[in-house]
Amino acid sequence: MKRAASTASSPATAWLKWPLVLALALSGLYLVFTVFAAGQVWWAMGLLVFLASAFFVYLSKISFAYRYLYPGLAGMAIFVALPLLFTVQIGFSNYSSSNLLTQERVRGYLLEQTVPDDAHLKRFSLHAEGAEFRLALRPVDEQGEPGEIMYVSAPLALLHAQPPAKIEMQAFVASPQTAATPLGPALSLKEVLRHREVLQRLVLSLPATATEPQAQELHYLGVSEFGPLNRVWRANADGSLTLNSDGVVYKPNGDTGFFESPTGERLQPGYKVFAGLKNYARMVLDPDFRGPFFAIFLWTVGFSALTVLFTLLIGMALAVLLNWEALRFKTTYRTLLFLPYAVPGFISILVFKGLFNQNFGEINAILDALFGIKPAWFADPLLAKTMLLIVNTWLGYPYIMVLCTGLLKAIPSDLYEASAIAGAGPLTNFFKITTPLIAKPLTPLLVGVFAFNFNNFVLIALLTDGRPDFLNTKVPAGQTDILVSYTYRIAFQDSGQDFGLAAAVSTVIFLMVAVMSLVNLRLMKANSK
């Protein structure tokens, strides 16, 4: 009966399946075409490969295991591998706030630049004419009653209701005596400004006259003037641009990513070019960048290593103490000591920022009362680093304490009983029994803690923001910055947004963390044997 029901439902399922597949395929191809039409060829090819692989996996007779694995593999490729490759690619370019666009877009932007033609400016006045308005234009240097006026009749009140767009209107020439209807009184400046949005959209096509032998297009240039616009740049066949005002030629420089004149003057904005290993070489060869970079690198390693050391000492000491059988209220103590880990880190960091305030913080108030000193925690580099280690140790020791507590519970109590019979003391038990038994399982976890603090951006950003800064550096750098916060400052803050250099530093950080991850895996593999 079941086989028959399945056979009977198969044609209906197939009838619904293939139209749905066809609709999805057409939608996907339309999306690919849209991306391709936008000029993103590589993104369109990647999207096409992704859609084709998805259809192949779910429509072919491939093993069902691949159908379950595909979403995870696709997600890893899109959200892990693709951003990583994109970051590495940026690291080999000059991508920055001054070099954001492609060369074609920069050229188009420059060719669109215009300047008013001061020799052909027209003063205008706006006159009411029933439901419409009349625009009267005259040369700016003409005084008194003009002999010839250019008129434009425009229902500006109705144009206010139209969506923003360029409005082209024809003008006609007449004298005040031959005009069809005389001009009414000119509107005041306040009334003219009410129609400013519509006036800005007007493009007046003026016919040729005896004084102006060529037809002109006039644009709104201010509250009292219309005039033609002249192009600033002229494109040349070799890809260079000529400045129309003085004829200077600006050629694209593939090394710097700017249009440059023969004297080296650069046009803004620049465009993206391949920079090779320049960003990586800058870390090593540029003395103004190398000094702060290596200082920050050493502090990052020291900060991570000292955090692991201090949290390990405190966390293990508390775990051993809480494992003491004769200690009363152990659960209460363990709960209280775990609170720094339970409270969100950014809240604790901001609380400590207030506690360490030089003038109003409670820590300086206590030190002033006891010793008469008020340390400048945020101004002195050594004190700022000490403060970071204190706060990070406070935030990190509960995690180590919990790890050590679990590992201590796994040690057989018979070992300690035999040690007590042999007359060994607590220190002997700790160094001969406890430490050897928890060292192997704890080592990979400590490597993970080191890697986490290597990229502990939140602590630096919220507590010191990398300050105090190094002096006389090309790229602003803080003495309490770690590599990840330094990279953030290069990319998004007060360093000119040098995305290429930031991507290069990020790639170096990734390689370091990858090496630490490999070491961690090796240690875990060795401990499992």
Which pTM was predicted? 0.74
What pLDDT does 6 receive?
44
Q: Are residues 56 and 188 in the same domain?
A: no
Q: Which of 58, 91, 124 is the last residue of a domain?
A: 91
Same domain, 43 and 149: no
The band of 150, judged by pLDDT with boundaries at 50, 70 and 90, is: low
179 and 62 in a single domain? The answer is no
Domain residues for 118?
A: 114-231
> 371-409: per-residue pLDDT in tens?
999 999 999 999 999 999 999 999 999 999 999 988 988
Regarding whether 393 and 341 lie in a shared domain, the answer is yes
CATH code for the domain of 186? 2.40.430.10
Measured distance CA(456)–CA(499) in Å, rounded: 20
Identify the pLDDT of residue 12.
58
Claim to verify: residue 83 and residue 123 sit in the same structural domain:
no
Domains contained in the chain, number:
3
**Do 297 and 407 sit in the same domain of this protein?**
yes
Give CB contacts under 8 A, 24+ apart, made by 343-348. 345/395, 345/458, 345/459, 346/458, 346/462, 348/391, 348/394, 348/395
- Cα 154 from Cα 130, distance rounded (Å): 11
Q: Which domain-ending residue is among 231, 258, 292?
A: 231
Q: Residue 305 pLDDT more than 80?
A: yes
| The pLDDT of residue 205 | 77
Asked whether residue 438 is domain-assigned, the answer is yes
Show which of 211, 231, 251 is a domain's final residue. Answer: 231
Q: 264 in a domain, yes or no?
A: no
Tokens matching residue 189: 């400046």
Task: Work out the number of other CB atoms within 10 angstroms of the CB of residue 235.
Answer: 14
Cα–Cα–Cα angle for 22, 28, 34, rounded to 5 degrees? 135
Q: Is the pLDDT of residue 271 over 50?
A: yes
> Given this model, what pLDDT does residue 4 score?
42
Long-range contacts: 154-162, Cβ < 8 Å, 24+?
154/198, 154/202, 155/131, 156/126, 156/132, 156/195, 156/198, 156/199, 157/131, 157/132, 157/133, 158/131, 159/198, 159/201, 160/195, 160/197, 160/198
Residue 47 CB partners (closer than 8 Å, separation 6+): 28, 31, 32, 35
Query: How does residue 235 score in pLDDT terms, banded at 50, 70 and 90?
Result: very high
Instruction: Let me know whether 483 and 359 are in one domain.
Output: yes
Reported as a single tens digit per residue, the pLDDT across 154-174 is 555 545 555 555 555 555 554
347 in a domain, yes or no? yes
Angle value at C-alpha 384, between 365 and 481, nearest 5 degrees? 150
- pLDDT tens-digit map of 435-483: 888 888 898 889 889 989 998 999 999 999 999 988 877 778 899 999 9
Same domain? For 477 and 336 the reply is yes
Residue 266: pLDDT band by 50, 70, 90 thresholds?
very high
Whether 320 is covered by a domain: the verdict is yes
pLDDT, tens digit, 9 for 90 and up, residues 50-93: 999 999 988 888 778 888 889 999 989 888 889 999 999 999 99
Tokens of 143: 């005084």
Please give the average per-residue pLDDT across 344-363, as a whole number: 92
Mark whether 446 and 300 lie in a shared domain. Answer: yes
The 8-class DSSP code of residue 207 comes to P
Please check the confidence at residue 243 and state whether its pLDDT lies above 80.
yes
500 pLDDT more than 80: yes
- Are residue 75 and residue 185 in the same domain, yes or no? no
Mean pLDDT score of the chain: 83
Task: Over range 352-375, report the average pLDDT.
Answer: 92
Same domain, 424 and 323: yes
Is residue 61 located within the same domain as residue 149? no
156 domain residue, yes or no: yes
pLDDT of residue 2 exceeding 50, the answer is no
Sheet strands (E) in 311-412: none
Q: What is the reported pLDDT for 146?
A: 43
pLDDT given for residue 155 in this prediction = 54
What is the pLDDT at residue 377? Answer: 95
Is residue 8 very low, low, confident or very high in pLDDT (cuts 50, 70, 90)?
A: very low
Tell me if 459 sits within 8 A of 391, measured CB to CB.
yes
Inform me whether the pLDDT recorded for 15 exceeds 80: no
Q: What is the CATH number of the domain that holds 60?
A: 1.20.58.370
The predicted pLDDT at position 283 comes to 85
